[in-house]
Amino acid sequence: MNMPKISSKSSLFLLLLIISTLTIIPYLGLTNFHTKGEPREAIVAVSMLQNDNWILPINNGGDIAYKPPFFHWCIAALSLPTGEVTEFTSRLPSALATIVMTLMCFLFFAKRSRNDIAFLSSLLLLSGFEVHRAAMASRVDMVLTCFIVLALLQLYRWWEHHLRGIPVWAILFMSIATLTKGPVGIILPCAVLGVFVLFQKVSLWKAIYKIVPIALLSCILPLLWYYAAYQQGGDTFLQLVMEENFARFLGKMSYDSHEQPVVYYIYITLAGWLPWSLLVIMSLFVLKYKKPNGTIKQYWTRFKDYITHMDKMRLFSLLSIVIILGFYCIPKSKRSVYILPIYPFIAYFLAEYMFFLLKQKPRVWRIFSIFIASVGGLLLGVLILVKTGIIDNWRNEFPDDINYYITALSDSWNIISIVTGIFIIFLIYDIYKSKRYLTYNNRYIYSVVALFFGIQLMLDASTLPVILNAKSMKPFADKVIEAVPEGKIYSYVSEPMLHFFIINFYTQDRVVIFEKEMPYEGYLLVGERDFNYIQEKYGKNYTFDPILRSDRKGNDVKDFVLLLDFQKHDCNKD
């Protein structure tokens, strides 16, 4: 933990590689799918492997994927050695993307700043709530973020070389980003570079002359896939592309999609940077503020002077934050993961600010460390109460849902829980012991950061998997597989674009849509509310006999799920 002993760039890079690997990779497969988003992406890779269609595979009973295929290619490729898509292999691309992005950002910032700032910014990036969550999820967003950020770093290097030659790596990274989620993979890096070079007094025409060609070159690989996909999907595919990319941006989608006000990105960014955003908020109460002095014109002059003399790398980082955030403020559709590409650049400024607070406002660090230590101690105390059975004396006082999770957490301690618990206790003691030497070196910062990593490990390794698995529909999916070991399983969901994603994944894409095929007999998955519609519309022609009912509401349809054996009254297929 004593940074002066490990201060070279190569040593810090190796240490960062070890930390990022050990805090993400081992826990990817511990949690079953419990949301609709993850299995919706993973099932695309399942259909790729099953049908050997790597261009535009059909899944979920007739859907085509809503996003380009690079993320799904990664899942399928990583699943080839075992021949099966699992929770681990479907989340591995996001984890690897996070690790690669973190390491490359460290090298980028270390070369242009101080090693300690670059290292701390990388640790903050890894441990922040939003990035850590995205790193552990089977979603396209972290892979997209990785390649947008890598493209930005390469474009900055291109500018350092006076925009000479062709930035091959930047073009490749933008191409892959576009193959992950669409044209934003090209638009955002080129927009940031364009504004940045204009700040460097490059003429507008030269900026266009330099940037437009690399944007066009970045389109070549994606266009090859779009053409091949159009050959398979035709107008249906084209309509989906237009809606997901252009209609979403213009707010003209055929369905509501995460519509939020602009202020959403303010509080969601603060939430995404927990717990470190709390330190920033605390510091606002101890900073000294000067009374406004001067006119608006004078303030504007000072601001322009500050920007003009700002360190170029810091200016590029600031512009990356402002332009990407501003871009995503335009569409009505807003989600926290959209702005993930700004997180590495925020991390750098946050690391600078944390070192400033350590030297100038150490009291804030002391208060914050007490808060983090209290969280760690509380988590450890609750787990001890639950796992030792002491809390059983008060079980009657808790609601049924809480008791359900207490029961799930009551398993015996595993080795990771024990080691992590000891690690947390040691760090709490170390923080308390070194409080007198708070401002002498950076050890205090790293002890607090390490303590939070310990809390994350405790949650990821032994707490959250148990709680989230208790919410998952996988046990019900296993019962469905036992009842229907082979063949199609029909389904009905009244809400458009919604399916039994989790059950479909665990049944290996055997769930198809009832009303598309109108079979004579088979098995039907349906929510209890939707069954009223099925019974009313088809009850005269079909007999439905219940086989299974889920003991919890489904993660996707938000209702108790029924498995019914059905048969048409007139079974004469001729």
What 3-state class would DSSP assign to 310? coil
Last residue of a domain, one of 312, 334, 356: 356
196 falls in which pLDDT band (50, 70, 90)? Answer: very high
Mean pLDDT of all residues in the chain? 90
Mean pLDDT of 332-341: 92
Alpha carbon distance 72, 179 (integer Å)? 10
Q: Rounded to 10 degrees, what is the CA torsion of 379, 380, 382, 386?
A: 130
Q: What is the pLDDT of residues 350-379, one digit of tens each?
A: 999 999 998 898 889 999 999 999 999 998
1 falls in which pLDDT band (50, 70, 90)? Answer: very low
Is pLDDT above 80 for 570?
Answer: no
The C-alpha R_g of the chain, in whole angstroms, comes to: 27
Residues 404 and 549 in one domain: no
Mean pLDDT of 1-30: 84
Q: Return the pLDDT at 529.
A: 93
Residues 104 and 142 in one domain: yes
Alpha carbon distance 10, 7 (integer Å)? 8
Q: Can you tell me which residue has the tokens 């008791």?
A: 403
Mean pLDDT of 149-167: 97
Tell me how long the chain is.
574
Is pLDDT above 50 for 277?
Answer: yes
Q: How many helices (H) and strands (E) does the chain have?
A: 26, 7
Alpha carbon distance 225, 202 (integer Å)? 35
Is pLDDT above 80 for 22?
Answer: yes
Edge-first strand order for the sheet with 542-553 is 511-513, 489-492, 521-527, 560-568, 542-553
Residue 115 belongs to some domain of the structure: yes
Residue 334 belongs to some domain of the structure: yes
DSSP structural state of residue 243 = I
Paired residues of 544 in beta bridges? 566
Residue 44 belongs to some domain of the structure: no
Q: Looking at the 3D structure of the chain, how many domains does it have?
A: 3
Q: Report the run of H or E that residue 546 belongs to, with start and end.
A: strand 542-553
Cα angle: 244, vertex 250, 254; to 5 degrees: 55
Q: What is the pLDDT of residues 386-407, one digit of tens each?
A: 877 777 777 667 776 676 677 7
Residues 102 and 184 in one domain: yes
Residues 181 and 293 in one domain: yes
Cβ–Cβ under 8 Å, residues 512 and 489: yes
Residues 117 and 135 in one domain: yes
Residue 344 belongs to some domain of the structure: yes
> What is the domain extent for residue 501?
474-568
Residues 130 and 188 in one domain: yes
Last residue of a domain, one of 470, 497, 513: 470
Residues 548 and 448 in one domain: no
Residues 525 and 507 in one domain: yes
Q: What is the pLDDT of residues 232-246, one digit of tens each?
A: 999 888 888 887 776
Cβ–Cβ under 8 Å, residues 505 and 42: yes
Q: Report the run of H or E that residue 544 belongs to, with start and end.
A: strand 542-553
Q: Return the pLDDT at 574.
A: 43
Q: Return the pLDDT at 268.
A: 95
Q: Calculate helix-pair angle for 312-329, 343-360, nearest 10 degrees.
A: 120
Q: What pTM does this model have?
A: 0.93
Buried b or exposed e, range 120-149, using 16+ CB within 10 angstroms: bbbbbbbbbbbbbbbbbbbbbbbbbbbbbb
Q: Return the pLDDT at 300.
A: 78
> DSSP per residue over 24-62, as a string?
TGGGTTSS---SSHHHHHHHHHHHHHHHT--SS-EETTT
Residues 193 and 280 in one domain: yes
Q: What is the pLDDT of residues 92-140, one digit of tens each?
A: 999 999 999 999 999 999 999 999 999 999 999 999 999 999 999 999 9
Residue 59 belongs to some domain of the structure: no
Residues 101 and 160 in one domain: yes
Q: Return the pLDDT at 128.
A: 95
Residues 349 and 430 in one domain: no
Is pLDDT above 70 for 168?
Answer: yes
Mean pLDDT of 261-280: 94
Residues 322 and 463 in one domain: no
**What tokens appear for 332 in the block?**
């009505």
Q: What is the pLDDT of residues 42-100, one digit of tens each?
A: 999 999 999 999 999 998 888 888 889 999 999 999 999 998 999 999 999 999 999 99
Q: Return the pLDDT at 401.
A: 66
Residue 22 Cα distances to 9, 26, 74, angstroms: 20, 7, 21
Residue 3 belongs to some domain of the structure: no
